[in-house]
Structure 1
Amino acid sequence: MTKELRRLSIIVLFMFLALFASTSYIQVIQADALADQPTNRRTLFDAYEVQRGAIIAGGQEIASSVPSGDVYAWQRQYADSHMWSPVTGYLNPVLVSATGIERAMGQELSGTAGSAFFSRIEQIVTGQPPRGSSVMLTLDPAVQQAAFEAMQGLTGAVVAIEPDTGRIRALVSTPGYDANQLAQHDIEATNSAHSALENDPLRPLQNRALEELNPPGSTFKLIVTAAALASGEWDEDSELPNPPTFRLPQSSATVQNANGGTCGGGSTVSIATALRLSCNVPFAELAIEMGDDAVRDMAERFGFNHDFSVPLTVTPSSYPAELDNPQTGLTGFGQGRLTSTPLQIAMISAGIANGGTVMEPYMVDRIVGVDLSVQKSTTPTPFGEAIDEDLATLLTSMMVANVQDGVASGARIDGVDVAGKTGTAEMGGENDPYTLWFTGFAPADDPEIAVAVVVEDGGGQGQSGSGNTIAAPIAKKVMEAVLSR
């Protein structure tokens, strides 16, 4: 072989290897990502010809495929859809659209995910028609129903988490919607239903549990208390000034307590008492004295300013950077530029309940093939240690006092110690109704469930409703549903 032919052979071999490596990378490494692209119409239309797997919660099929008798072969069908729609979302081949678990787990449900590779091979070899895998959720239908029923007539959300695993046991957003109307193959009827939902002022298509941001109100005092006690400069008996009002520095804005007076009697008040009575003035003073960096650091340890996928995408809760003293003071009682999702507030309680360790939240337990083999499962994963165990125990006792002898009495359960914290967030306008919060866990000495509840528009009571009278009783019903199992 001449030198020129040898060089040409080497070049051709190199080009072949480069092509082989490139196609292998695309077909193996990038396959799932490319298949999951919303613009990949070929994969999407191929998926419509497959009998899609079921979405299952607690042994109940909440989404399944039925023969459609048209060009798309199969149509999705949703059970108790108003209750489950924030979770399942919907799939519609006519609109070429999918949301919720239908979107997030689309590859698994259509059988095109890497985890279903051997199942696809078996179906080809045996001549079976292609079928997708089922998605088993962590959600408990009884707990979901308790939360959903408790929220009837209200606009808001409920999230319930197992503290030691991060498993989401309930995720409710109200009002819900009927996903069956958006899954039908009649394009005119589907577009009409979708337009009606989009124009609904209550925004039923919005997942308030994971996407909606609100000021967290006094639930955030748990973060401020944790930051103060973790610093070593304060303890639960440390005294703070106790005026009836507090003018924010470099500002004309004035902070006052909900009762319009001082936080209990006396010229000073302890941190423990200020938390039990949920007073704004002492916490505004405390946040300013610590500084925004210290408060932000503790908030981020619990998950603020981080991205989460459960696998539905979660809007990051925000404690902004570089706040001035007036802004920092407002965050001391959960106001100002501070915003949070209900999931994040549930994670605060869950982290305290779990001895200070915050777990990554998730709601897909495992992927199961047609032959009932487990193709993929989720392992509980720590997000991080927010506080040490001693501080978590102390915060728990302070939260129990909130329920037993404080402003969170609406969450009391006979024979069970409940740890909790209420919140009432002002929404900007002088006459705007408040957003009402509660977060907590039970039993306090051996936590099984952590809950966050948010009720928008004052629960229909304008500015007269409170987190204790409206949100706390909802959380109580959810906790009772878990404890009675």
Structure 2
Amino acid sequence: MKNPLKHVAVVGFVLFALLFGSTSAIQYFAADSLRQNPLNNRTVIAELARPRGPILVDGKELAASNPVDDEYKYQRTYGGDGLSAKAYANMTGYFSIVSGTTGLERSENDLLSGTSDAMFYDRVGSWFTGQQPSGAAIDLTINAKAQRAAWEGLGDQRGAAVALNPKTGEVLAMASTPGFDPNTLATHDRSSAQDAYQRLEGAKSKPLYNRAIGGNLYPPGSTFKLITAAAALEKGDVKPDSEISAPDSLKLPQTSRSLRNAGGETCGSNGRATLKHSLTISCNTAFAQLGMDLGGKALNAQAEKFGFGKRFDMPLSVSPSTFPADANEPSLAMSAIGQYEVRATPMQMAMVAAAIANGGREMTPNLVKQVRNAKTLETIEKPSPKEFSRPISSGTADSLTDMMESVVEDGTGTAAQISGVKVAGKTGTAQHAEGGSPHAWFTSFAPADDPQVAVAVVVEDGGSAGSEASGGRVAGPIAKDIMEAVIDK
């Protein structure tokens, strides 16, 4: 009789130990991750019961919490005072009782909710006074005029645009289209919020994607020629006025295919052209051959120096751009002109332009200008500019700048010219689907002699121009408007 009782006691003890262990693990080890899970509605509901800090652009409230007479006590609202909720939606994200949090609402949640360690003494003060603790105010680096130019320039077309201050890394604009109205997701009507989320999640146009920093990345097309040119200049064997092979048609090794230039044009005489002229007119055969001459390791290394393959937060998470490893010769030729398996975010290509503009010093993008106490306006945090990398020398940056100026003055990027201002740019027309219209790209900076803004724009499937699209024709004017908005402040 004793043995069966002993077995029962042992089993009972083991089960109790397992139960105690699992609950302890949840309480002490998994609690933080569960609390921060954007789908944890208990956390969202608890945070709605106190005033959430505002998100500000140019001192105006882009996101705010207003007291309401329901169980949640505060309603999160977006837009107003000249700021379009849809134009900023992929930046702010949303705060929803049904689908949780995204965007800045998620990445800056501790500060916006007031639970950050940086706000400990403010919470203590609230306990003594009996006041409801409130969240911090997040002041963004966005230039409202530049954001409006990016949003209106993209219009009904699918695509994205990014503008950076090349000297500091501050994000001056970041638009992704089509946008969405986050207010439809922030409503306290659960049924309406659920319907809105299902409609947006199921839409073919993928409005919930932030195309500027993630989603399905794009082949960068000829904007990648900046990286190929940088690799050649850094190696030292080629200078802007060096003649390189630029045939009318380039036979791709190991295949029966040949690569031709856009419109079947000729790049130079006797199958030769200078590096500068090849970039100015965006000669495919010249850069494809140059890429094969450089080799995959050199191109991959140069791309990595600019940030390809690296994930980082600004504070939104930016998907890493990619360059194919171990590409064979024909694949390498296509990769050198931004095709094959090369994929990039507009943020990454804006960083490439910004690094060139900043003398070869690439700054880490940053979206937050400062964090302030919403009541006292005292500064809690103020990020300092940080160097991301030094992908090229100042000499290479100067050479690329001169070549990019030629693109806008005399080449494929004339649509981005600004009267009285020197503009440096590069076009891209990226094939991505058999029989489909190309993506239109443009990356640039201005003024070229004292850069204030670096831009990258992509318009999916040629936008309204369809199969007739080119980077200069479709994306160039959008980039021009964004640059002018910053320069003409």
* Fold shared per TM-score above 0.5: yes
Partner of 1:415: 420
The alpha-carbon distance between structure 1 residues 384 and 292, as it changes in their structure 2 partners (threshold 3 A), is same
From 120, 123, 131, give the equivalent of 1:120.
Answer: 123
**SS across alignment from 1:387:** coil
Q: Select between 156-165 and 188-197 the one with higher mean Cα deviation.
A: 188-197
Distance 1:177 1:350 in 2: 29
Distance 2:230 2:471 in 1: 21
Q: Counterpart of 1:279 in structure 2: which amino acid?
A: C
8 A Cα contact 2:39 2:99, kept in partner:
no
In the TM superposition, residue 261 of structure 1 has moved relative to its aligned partner by 3.2
Partner of 1:406: 411
Pair 1:146-2:144 in alignment = no
**SS across alignment from 1:427:** coil
Partner of 2:307: 303
Distance 1:39 1:142 in 2: 34
Distance 2:39 2:204 in 1: 30
**SS across alignment from 1:367:** strand
Matches within 5 A, 1:265-304: 265-304=269-308
In the TM superposition, residue 253 of structure 1 has moved relative to its aligned partner by 2.8
Q: Percent sequence identity over matched residues?
A: 42
Q: Counterpart of 1:60 in structure 2: which amino acid?
A: K
Q: Select between 368-377 and 403-412 the one with higher mean Cα deviation.
A: 368-377
Partner of 2:197: 194
Note the alpha carbon deviations across 1:148-198, whole angstroms, 9 max, x for none.
111112110110000011000000001111110011011111111122222
Distance 1:34 1:196 in 2: 27
Q: Select between 177-186 and 65-74 the one with higher mean Cα deviation.
A: 65-74
Note the alpha carbon deviations across 1:342-364, whole angstroms, 9 max, x for none.
00000000000000011110101
Partner of 1:318: 322
Pair 1:234-2:234 in alignment = no
Partner of 1:396: 401
TM-score (norm 1): 0.91
8 A Cα contact 1:215 1:338, kept in partner:
yes
Distance 1:30 1:479 in 2: 46
Unaligned runs of 5+ in 1: 1-22
Pair 1:178-2:181 in alignment = yes
**SS across alignment from 1:178:** coil
8 A Cα contact 1:32 1:114, kept in partner:
no
From 464, 472, 476, give the equivalent of 1:472.
Answer: 476
Partner of 2:48: 48
8 A Cα contact 2:462 2:470, kept in partner:
yes
**SS across alignment from 1:125:** helix
Pair 1:441-2:445 in alignment = yes
8 A Cα contact 1:32 1:113, kept in partner:
no
Unaligned runs of 5+ in 2: 1-23
Q: Counterpart of 1:420 in structure 2: which amino acid?
A: G
8 A Cα contact 2:38 2:101, kept in partner:
no
Give aligned pairs, total.
458
Note the alpha carbon deviations across 1:261-297, whole angstroms, 9 max, x for none.
3213332111111101101011000000100110111
Note the alpha carbon deviations across 1:52-74, whole angstroms, 9 max, x for none.
00010111101001123221111
Q: Counterpart of 1:151 in structure 2: which amino acid?
A: L
8 A Cα contact 1:35 1:107, kept in partner:
no
Q: Counterpart of 2:397 in structure 1: which amino acid?
A: A
In the TM superposition, residue 311 of structure 1 has moved relative to its aligned partner by 1.0
Partner of 1:483: 487
8 A Cα contact 1:91 1:97, kept in partner:
yes
Pair 1:452-2:435 in alignment = no
Q: Select between 413-422 and 128-137 the one with higher mean Cα deviation.
A: 128-137
RMSD: 1.8
Partner of 1:342: 346
In the TM superposition, residue 240 of structure 1 has moved relative to its aligned partner by 1.9
**SS across alignment from 2:466:** coil
Matches within 5 A, 1:192-231: 192-212=195-215, 213-231=217-235
Distance 2:270 2:411 in 1: 18
Partner of 1:13: none
Q: Select between 438-447 and 452-461 the one with higher mean Cα deviation.
A: 452-461
Pair 1:244-2:223 in alignment = no
Distance 2:404 2:177 in 1: 27
In the TM superposition, residue 259 of structure 1 has moved relative to its aligned partner by 2.3
8 A Cα contact 2:99 2:197, kept in partner:
no
Partner of 2:168: 165
Q: Counterpart of 1:398 in structure 2: which amino acid?
A: M
Distance 2:258 2:76 in 1: 54
**SS across alignment from 1:463:** helix
The alpha-carbon distance between structure 1 residues 42 and 198, as it changes in their structure 2 partners (threshold 3 A), is closer
Note the alpha carbon deviations across 1:194-232, whole angstroms, 9 max, x for none.
222222221111111011300000000000000001001
**SS across alignment from 2:269:** coil
In the TM superposition, residue 34 of structure 1 has moved relative to its aligned partner by 6.9
Partner of 2:11: none
In the TM superposition, residue 482 of structure 1 has moved relative to its aligned partner by 0.6
In the TM superposition, residue 327 of structure 1 has moved relative to its aligned partner by 1.1
**SS across alignment from 1:415:** coil
**SS across alignment from 1:266:** helix
Q: Counterpart of 1:310 in structure 2: which amino acid?
A: M
**SS across alignment from 1:234:** coil
8 A Cα contact 2:162 2:346, kept in partner:
yes
In the TM superposition, residue 239 of structure 1 has moved relative to its aligned partner by 1.8
Distance 1:33 1:189 in 2: 28
Distance 2:346 2:238 in 1: 29
In the TM superposition, residue 46 of structure 1 has moved relative to its aligned partner by 2.6
In the TM superposition, residue 322 of structure 1 has moved relative to its aligned partner by 1.2
Distance 1:75 1:230 in 2: 55
In the TM superposition, residue 465 of structure 1 has moved relative to its aligned partner by 1.1
**SS across alignment from 1:311:** coil
Matches within 5 A, 1:26-175: 35-38=35-38, 43-79=43-79, 80-93=84-97, 95-175=98-178
**SS across alignment from 2:162:** strand
Q: Select between 255-264 and 78-87 the one with higher mean Cα deviation.
A: 255-264
